[in-house]
Amino acid sequence: MSAAVETNPQVEVVSRIEVDRSAEGAVTIYWASALFWLTIATIAGLISSAKLHSPDFLGNIEWLTFGRIRPVHWDTAIYGFGGTAASGTLLWLQARLCQTRIPFPALLIAGGVIFNVGILLGSIGVLMGQSTGVETLELPLYAMPLLVIPYVFIVIANFKMYFTRKTSHTYVSQWYLMAVTVWFPILVLSAEACTNLGAVDGVAQAIANWWYGHNVVGLFATPTGIAAAYYLIPKVIGKPIHSYHLSLLGFWSNAIFYNWAGTHHLTGGPLPAWTITIGVVGSLMMFIPVITIGINHHMTMLGSFHHLKTSPTLRFAVMGSMIYTLSSFQGSLESLRSHQEITHFTHYTIGHVHFGMYGFFAPLMFAMMYYAMPRLTGNEWSSARLIRIHFWCTLIGMLVYAISMCYAGIRQGMMMNDPTAPFLDIVRFTVPFLWIRTLGGLILFAGTIAFLINFWRIVQPHRLRFVTPTLMTTERDYNMLLNKEKELEQNDK
């Protein structure tokens, strides 16, 4: 056995472990927060949903009235869950791909705590009636510094890792991670300036509002999800990504066109036609990145579908990437004026948002956690059954939700465009579908609980006491972990 053969792979393995060691605290706190806020957001969503078919449910409590609990649902979902899940992903994926330790982990952990306090204070503010009244930017201004400062830490950490890394190669996922890092602060600060700080008035404010509302999904959640899919799919099945050139085209077309798509949220509104037309064009041009990214992900998967059986990571990642394609197609078509004439003010939009957020973004974040948490903590997922419950509840609950809302929305829109249909008849028509939506939400909630239990167990300090891997791990990783366990035991003695 020559020394070179023996040590070479070990150098890489040790460095991975070192990366994960440095990242464990910060990433775990962000992902644990993500699950906490996902639970809160789901409960708030269920309350909102129940109130729409049974308006007397928790009827006379002012701070739980629909108009307050509904923005709390979305804000805790997009910032509480989305923000923290994406932040954890940004940190861990960047550190792994740069093969570098996470800088100033203590500061990042403090950031995670501050961020949670910010979301909590902001949500309580909205429940108390202090909403700013701007959709998606409802959180009162005093909560904003608490959300921005932790993100500044993440931005600095990302830049530091990316610009001082030892590796020479930039992987596709890193483009997306760097893009998110640059986009999100600009997005939030310009949107706050244009709406709540009053830099622009009237309908220009409405454009700023929806430029933001669309981009917070498109320039924050989406690129993070795509970065995760680009990393996880090839990693788990052990095949390179289908085409480098396509990923380049996909990245830049996404960066250019998504930015302009937001104004389709104001179709038919009091705006010059050109502003809406830009939004429609931007949305239709999104077919280019969506198709190229889709080809890349699905062609990479082609011939490897048998791995879905054993790898929870891959299940969620493939579900996410497939629904990315479907929900993006849906979104592009939805932007057309003829489509918007029917569906614009209806539950269809709500169905689409959940299809994208819970069908694409959330599963990819779950996939990241399923992949990374055992590596970060040294524990295995305790129950394969809970993972299966989580997966099927996510898939079925999300389909029940999205299909019922989209169908109800189309019918609702068609009835609204028929002036002879009394408005209250339309309301009565939607009620059964609103019940089905609550059912879908409950199924999603059951999945969340299953994941929470598993997550709670994996962060317990039973370092390296895994039994059989529930994740598909390579033998090398497995042996490496065994060796590391022995080493730790010796250190303990």
Partner 1 sequence: MTSRKIGLTLGVFLTITASVTGLVIVPNWQFRELQPVKKADGSQYPMPLFGEQAKGREVYIDQGCIYCHSQQIRMKGYGADIRRNWGTRRSVPRDYIHEKPHQLGTMRTGPDLASIGSRQPSTVWHALHLYDPQITSPGSIMPRFQYLYTELRDGEALPPGTFEADVVKIPPQFQKNGVTRLMPTDRGKALVEYLKGLNKTFPLPEAAQ
- Sites for partner 1 among residues 336-355 (CB under 8 A): 337, 341, 344-347, 349
List 190, 310, 325, 383, residue binding partner 1 (CB under 8 A):
190
- Sites for partner 1 among residues 139-168 (CB under 8 A): 162-163, 168
In angstroms, rounded to a whole number, what is the distance separating the alpha carbons of residues 202 and 327?
31
Q: Taking the complex as a whole, how short is the minimal distance between the CB of residue 126 and partner 1, in angstroms?
A: 8
Largest CA distance in the chain: 86
In angstroms, rounded to a whole number, what is the distance separating the alpha carbons of residues 264 and 282?
9
- Sign of the C-alpha dihedral, residues 310, 379, 12, 89? positive
Residue 492 burial class via C-beta count within 10 angstroms: exposed 0-12, middle 13-18, buried 19 and up = exposed
131 part of the interface to partner 1, by CB under 8 A: yes
In angstroms, rounded to a whole number, what is the distance separating the alpha carbons of residues 252 and 205?
28
70 part of the interface to partner 1, by CB under 8 A: yes
Q: Taking the complex as a whole, how short is the minimal distance between the CB of residue 212 and partner 1, in angstroms?
A: 9
Annotate 295-359 with DSSP letters as a single string. Answer: HHHHHHHTT-GGGGGT-HHHHHHHHHHHHHHHHHHHHHHHTSHHHHHHHTTSHHHHHHHHHHIII
- Sites for partner 1 among residues 418-457 (CB under 8 A): 418-419, 423-424, 427-428, 430-431, 434
Question: Which range of residues in 18-26, 115-123, 392-400, 416-424 is near partner 1 by CB under 8 A?
Answer: 416-424
Q: Taking the complex as a whole, how short is the minimal distance between the CB of residue 299 and partner 1, in angstroms?
A: 25
Question: Which range of residues in 143-151, 188-196, 383-391, 466-474 is near partner 1 by CB under 8 A?
Answer: 188-196
Q: Which amino acid is at 287?
A: F
The residues near 409 (Cβ < 8 Å, ≥ 6 apart) are 343, 346, 347, 348, 349, 350, 351
Of 183, 470, 225, nearest in space to 364 by CA? 225
9 part of the interface to partner 1, by CB under 8 A: no
At 74, give phi and psi (nearest 5°): -70, -40
Question: Which range of residues in 89-97, 190-198, 464-472, 480-488 is near partner 1 by CB under 8 A?
Answer: 190-198
What's 243's DSSP letter?
Answer: -
List 78, 109, 207, 319, residue binding partner 1 (CB under 8 A):
207
CA neighbours closer than 13 Å in the CB half-sphere of residue 38: 31
472 part of the interface to partner 1, by CB under 8 A: no
In angstroms, rounded to a whole number, what is the distance separating the alpha carbons of residues 345 and 378?
48
Q: Taking the complex as a whole, how short is the minimal distance between the CB of residue 198 and partner 1, in angstroms?
A: 6
Per-residue tokens: 154: 């993440």
Q: Taking the complex as a whole, how short is the minimal distance between the CB of residue 344 and partner 1, in angstroms?
A: 7
CB 450 within 8 A of CB 42: no
Which residue lies nearer to partner 1 by CB, 163 or 302?
163
- Sites for partner 1 among residues 258-277 (CB under 8 A): 259-260, 262-263, 265-266, 268-272, 275
Q: Taking the complex as a whole, how short is the minimal distance between the CB of residue 202 and partner 1, in angstroms?
A: 4
In angstroms, rounded to a whole number, what is the distance separating the alpha carbons of residues 140 and 132?
6
- Sites for partner 1 among residues 26-55 (CB under 8 A): 51-53, 55
Q: Taking the complex as a whole, how short is the minimal distance between the CB of residue 213 and partner 1, in angstroms?
A: 9
Which residue lies nearer to partner 1 by CB, 33 or 346?
346
Of 377, 349, 410, nearest in space to 484 by CA? 377
Q: Taking the complex as a whole, how short is the minimal distance between the CB of residue 199 and partner 1, in angstroms?
A: 8
- Sites for partner 1 among residues 355-414 (CB under 8 A): none
204 part of the interface to partner 1, by CB under 8 A: yes
Q: Taking the complex as a whole, how short is the minimal distance between the CB of residue 323 and partner 1, in angstroms?
A: 23
Q: Taking the complex as a whole, how short is the minimal distance between the CB of residue 41 and partner 1, in angstroms?
A: 15
Question: Which range of residues in 178-186, 317-325, 368-376, 387-395 is near partner 1 by CB under 8 A?
Answer: 178-186
What stretches of 76-171 show up as alpha helix (H) in DSSP? 84-98, 105-127, 144-163
List 38, 93, 97, 187, residue binding partner 1 (CB under 8 A):
187
